[in-house]
Homo-oligomer: A and B are copies of this chain.
């Protein structure tokens, strides 16, 4: 379960009701496995989690205990110790198995910290109860603090140009488009259309690039992004949503690309008519960008200007030029 989405399970709680772990999405989750309700170690651990429950909840975290006990035994355990957090009965050990904390039929005392998106972010195995709850709290606080920083993938993404032409597995390209396709859109119109160019078609697309985009000739794949105004909302005051929504989708695509170590560089420099012809994109569609894909390569292959851009600092206007609090920012038009 390391690093995976960890909430795809439903177990009975102490009252015998089905408890889908996905109902915890959006909160941090402290999922702790204990061997047997009522024993001294498990009682002490549960009471310490209970004592600190307000601290966990005030941080947006829920505590969930899991053991191989029956719901009835868990209900008694909860009552005797005034436990207010969910206790789940994993009698056949399927959750413990998935988390790798079942050994010779028994549960190894273990705790997992999951983030708001249900990803396991930290694990403690063979837990010793003294001091454990305090350590979980400290770790939770460190995670929350780190999460308030700008998302690491967004922070490190750069519009790199130096590419290695090694092929990209089809599966990874599919994931990029799936990420894009999960973007929101006006009335859920999903106006984006993607054409992945590889092989011969890719060569045709490359012929439509001007000299300045020489670096893109190394790309093992290029994604054309096209749409049509009528595929999305057209509202008052010149609000056509198709390109905005395509931008949202490509934003998600780029986050996904960064996650797997791919460069995904959207460009505007190409002959749109030639690319449309090559890929069979209808003439009346707007071909808004080509997303050049590739693995990071050697900046030495780039022109001097591009090498400087590649290695130099990231250039952005001061935030005050694009962000106003209750007023329009200083106009730069």
Chain A contact residues, majority secondary structure: mixed
Please give the count of copies of this chain that the complex contains: 2
Nearest chain-B residue to A247 (Cβ)?
Answer: B247
Q: How far is the CA of A150 from the CA of B183 in the complex (A)?
A: 12
Residues on B with beta carbons closer than 8 Å to the beta carbon of A296: 26
B252/A250 in contact, CB under 8 A:
no
Question: How would residues 187 to 231 of chain A score, 1 for a CB under 8 Å from any chain B CB and 0 otherwise?
Answer: 110101111111111000000000000000000000000101011
Interface residues of A in 63-104 (CB under 8 A from B): none
A195/B250 in contact, CB under 8 A:
no
A177's partner among B122, B201, B322 (CB-CB below 8 A) is B322
B236/A247 in contact, CB under 8 A:
no
Total A residues in contact with B, Cβ cutoff 8 Å:
115
Top 10 A-B residue pairs of the complex, sorted by shortest distance between their CB atoms: A247-B247, A251-B251, A3-B146, A117-B152, A237-B272, A201-B326, A244-B247, A2-B142, A243-B244, A248-B251
Q: What are 23 A-B contacts with C-beta separation under 8 Å? A: A2-B139, A5-B152, A26-B296, A116-B156, A116-B258, A117-B155, A117-B259, A148-B260, A149-B175, A150-B178, A151-B153, A151-B255, A154-B182, A184-B266, A192-B322, A194-B323, A195-B329, A230-B333, A239-B268, A241-B288, A248-B250, A279-B327, A280-B328
